[in-house]
Amino acid sequence: MKTRIITGVVGAIAVIGWLFSMYTPVFSVFIALVAAIGVFELTKAFEVKNPVFRGLCIAVSAALPFWFEYKEKLNIPVFPVVTIAVVASLIIMVLDFEKLKFEQVACSLCSAVFVPSALSCIILYRDLYLAFPDKYIKTDGIFFILFGFFCCWLSDTFAFFAGKFFGKHKLSPVISPKKTVEGAIGGVIGTAVLNVVLFVVFKKFFNLSAEITLPVVIIASVCLSVISIFGDLAASTIKRHHGIKDFGNLLPGHGGVMDRFDSSCFVFPVLYSIIILINSI
C-alpha cells in the first residue's frame, strides 16, 4: 500500500510537471514514450518473440503521437503508412510462420495503432481552441486533459478505497476478484464530486467557455468513470487470458505502464468523441 501511494504521488507530480510543457516538443515526446512502453508490454503479454515485428509495432506506436502533433506541418497521410505496416507485418508472419501466429500479429498491430491514438487525444484536447476557435479557448484544453485523467485515475483510486472499506459484493469475481460493486459506486461518485470541484475552480479562477456546463460535466464524469471501470476490467481480461498478473513492473505498486494507462485508452477517445458530438449538434 505504501509503495503504491508513493508511486502514485510521484506520478501525479510528474504529470503536473509535464503539463507545463504543453506547447513544447516534450509534450508529444512523453506521450510517444508512454505509448511505446505500453505497446512493448502488450507485445510481451501476447508472447511475441520475433524482434523485427516487435520493433515494428513499437516504432508505429512511438511515431503516431508525432503525427497527431505535427500532422498539419508534415502533411503525411496516415492510411498509407498504416497499410505499409500491416503488409510488412503479414510478410514477417509468413517468413516466421512457425513462431509468429496471426492472432499475435492482429492483437499487436491493433495495440500499436489504438494505444498511441487513444493517448494522443490529449493533444486533440489541447488544440480544441484551434479546431473550434469560436467555441473553445486555451484554458478549456487544460481542463479537458485534467478531466480525462480524473475520470481514469480518481475513479480507480476512489474505487480502491471504497472497496477496501465498504466492499461486500464482487463486481467480477473471475476477471478481477478484488473489485466490488461498492467500490465501483464509490469510484463513480467520488470522481463526479472531484470533477465538479475541478469545474468550479476553473470557472472561477481560470475561465472556461460557455460550452462547458455543470450538467455536462456531471453526466460525462459518471459515464466516463463507468467506462474507466470496464477499461480496467478489459485489461484484466487480457492478463487473465495470458496468465500474467501485471503488464510490467516499471511502476512499483502499480505494475507496468499499461496497468496505469489501461483505462485511459478507453476514456480519452470517448471523451473526445463526446466533445465532437456535442459540437456537431
Domain boundaries, the chain: 1-119, 132-281
Stretch 4-13: mean pLDDT, rounded? 77
- Candidates 82, 78, 59; CA nearest to 68 is 78
pLDDT in tens, 30-59: 999 999 999 999 999 999 999 999 999 999
pTM of structure: 0.92
pLDDT in tens, 169-210: 898 888 888 889 999 999 999 999 999 999 999 999 988 998
The single-letter code of the amino acid at 271 is L
Contacts of 51 (CB under 8 A, 6+ apart): none
Rounded CA separation 235/237 (Å):
5
